[in-house]
Structure 1
């Protein structure tokens, strides 16, 4: 409580069913003229982008569409999007989608006002100028990229995910409308839902956690624990979609201000090397990293168990209650169909390189427990073998 904090989240936040309809009136208040709408071809083909453009047309908002974003967006995606932004003389960005369009839009926005190559901005606080205004419209309850200062772009040459942590990339308007998330496939819902849970758990236990982040992380874990399996089972359940929308949104506010940890550091390498979807990579690693970190903050892990709805009254010690959280995360992951790491493209012969890169990832510094390259190798291998991680003594 004695440490001053800079707390970041978007100036305008539109959350809940039907909230996307307010985008036009908020854009008009900013006196903007033309948007680059950043999305992907799947969202164009399934009609989600049309839902947005119909609303924009009705409000007289001018836009041009860039829909070449890949699931793990690349430097090429970013620079092609920037070229279109400049050619069309746009002055703001609308992102529509999950983390991939959101991250791409953030990168384009930073380059539009700062210049250079996107690789110049890898790391923390590398830009000088604020991005052009961004209206970030989420269509998945997962990444919460619509409310964060973080974005991730893959360097195709190095097969490496570059992590940017930059308040200048924060969207001006964030939109989290669960009606845009309805009827998404079970696999996508599971991956994004476990991504959101990872954000909340890592944000709650990060060494940058503080009073506000603790409060909202706990609520996020509670909501996700209550609704993720329901949302996976029935994609048309608006209550479950709304609960997950709020859980994801709140988790984003938490981790954007508190930090993350080595689940993300390690998952970034799986995405960069094998193009593995980020939410799936997080889910595969989460329980193993929780076991590694548990002795650094056992009370917080016991809290997580209770937030997930686990009855911890039979636990004789706080450590027993903490282990219940790990068991529950494993159960949820299995219930929603997350496969083990062994069933991915992961190669054992790559583990040294992956561990070295994870150790140097921007998220590692927020992990609640110091970690070595050897620790990361062990966690990767335990996840690959689908075996429990031995909790190391401090």
Structure 2
């Protein structure tokens, strides 16, 4: 087995009501002025004010950047950075799902390293740790609150840049399930399927190891058991907490084993058409899994078992087919569109999408390396 390195924030708080503990921890770190990176929706519903009140009571000043786009852009990073410098902020708090977390990572990284966020595309391109980042999560899916992955849309090139850098790992991640009960059904479904994709791709990744395998399989079991309930009963605290743990486990898996072609391809759809990331992943997942089945059927059979399928007596190939069927069934049950056609993806764009997907760092650990034509074919069958 090759050498493995395991990345994770140094402190991680999970559970109902843990936001209060997180603010106490920030107070003990001695921060004076935080830049809160969020989006307009969370500001509108009062969540930003709730966090700022807690910070104020702990003696921490805060300034808000609420311009984060659902697919955060290079412009968002530049805007947030200007506010950070103007207010001499000594730390960054991201509040929301993957979008604010990724935007905040971009801001915090450039704050200490200088230059432009585009300079850091790729793996470990920065020289210094970012400004301290505390990531307060309100969705159960991306796991961006605890990873070294930062995805930013370059508005000039219309692509999503994958920045994989140990320096963008937050110092503290916060998963308070009380903050997740208000998530709408569609967002709960999309982020939950994003988490499932993380776990599946990490489990079949060429960089998988026993630690990531354990995290991935446990995440798959918990998501299979709790996602539909979380979608149908948004105020079900047990289902919300289970999904918070499950997406965190999936994050631990892919943060260290990386991902595959589902993400490499979904990033292009998101960057090109400005589509929701979790939905793109969910639509592509069964198709990429079918493409990978020829080289990792045994592992897919393990996933089928983790999803609750009785695999006794099945061959590896039958187990792989059962895995793909289970993924499709869960996706349908939580209301994910059946194909890319429903998202207005255009066949004429497949060539450029495939070219960019093959450049994405996430594809490097896919269990089988594809040709340009094969990527185009996967996009085509996913229509």
TM-score range, shorter chain: over 0.9
Quote the offset at 1:6 in angstroms.
1.8
Quote the offset at 1:295 in angstroms.
1.8
Task: Please give the secondary structure, in 2, of the residue aligned with 1:162.
Answer: strand
Counterpart position of 1:25: 24
Q: Distance in 2 between matches of 1:30 and 1:21?
A: 15
Q: Distance in 2 between matches of 1:322 and 1:52?
A: 45
Q: Distance in 1 between matches of 2:193 and 2:53?
A: 31
Q: Distance in 2 between matches of 1:4 and 1:368?
A: 18
Counterpart position of 1:78: 77
**Match status 1:143 vs 2:130:** no
Whether the aligned pair in 1 keeps the contact of 2:4 and 2:209 (CA below 8 Å) is no
Q: TM-score, normalised by structure 1?
A: 0.95
Q: Distance in 2 between matches of 1:230 and 1:49?
A: 27
1:323-379 CA distances to partner (integer Å, 9 max, x unpaired)?
Answer: 101000000101111112111120100000000000111111010111111110000
RMSD: 0.9
Q: Distance in 2 between matches of 1:182 and 1:364?
A: 34
Counterpart position of 2:231: 232
Task: Please give the secondary structure, in 2, of the residue aligned with 1:370.
Answer: coil
Counterpart position of 2:288: 289
Counterpart position of 1:367: 366
The correspondence for 1:320, drawn from 318, 321, 341, is 318
The correspondence for 1:333, drawn from 311, 331, 345, is 331
Q: Distance in 1 between matches of 2:243 and 2:7?
A: 22
Superposed counterparts of 1:204-215, under 5 Å: 204-215=203-214
Q: Distance in 2 between matches of 1:7 and 1:314?
A: 35
Counterpart position of 2:171: 172
Whether the aligned pair in 1 keeps the contact of 2:27 and 2:59 (CA below 8 Å) is no
Quote the offset at 1:290 in angstroms.
0.5
Whether the aligned pair in 1 keeps the contact of 2:224 and 2:307 (CA below 8 Å) is yes
Q: TM-score, normalised by structure 2?
A: 0.98
Q: Distance in 1 between matches of 2:242 and 2:108?
A: 30
Counterpart position of 2:274: 275
Q: Distance in 2 between matches of 1:247 and 1:17?
A: 15
Task: Please give the secondary structure, in 1, of the residue aligned with 2:361.
Answer: coil
Which stretch shifts more, 55-64 or 252-261?
Answer: 55-64
Whether the aligned pair in 2 keeps the contact of 1:24 and 1:61 (CA below 8 Å) is no
Quote the offset at 1:50 in angstroms.
2.6
Q: Distance in 1 between matches of 2:226 and 2:263?
A: 23
Counterpart position of 1:183: 182
Counterpart position of 1:387: none
Quote the offset at 1:298 in angstroms.
1.2
How many residues are treated as equivalent by the alignment?
A: 382
1:250-288 CA distances to partner (integer Å, 9 max, x unpaired)?
Answer: 111110111100000000000000000000100010000
Quote the offset at 1:59 in angstroms.
1.9
Gaps of 5+ in 2: none
Whether the aligned pair in 1 keeps the contact of 2:36 and 2:65 (CA below 8 Å) is yes
Whether the aligned pair in 2 keeps the contact of 1:72 and 1:153 (CA below 8 Å) is yes
Superposed counterparts of 1:1-394, under 5 Å: 2-315=1-314, 317-339=315-337, 340-384=339-383
Which stretch shifts more, 272-281 or 4-13?
Answer: 4-13
1:129-152 CA distances to partner (integer Å, 9 max, x unpaired)?
Answer: 000100001100010001100000
Which stretch shifts more, 190-199 or 304-313?
Answer: 304-313
Q: Distance in 2 between matches of 1:353 and 1:3?
A: 34
Task: Please give the secondary structure, in 1, of the residue aligned with 2:161.
Answer: strand
Q: Distance in 2 between matches of 1:234 and 1:47?
A: 22
Q: Distance in 1 between matches of 2:153 and 2:144?
A: 16
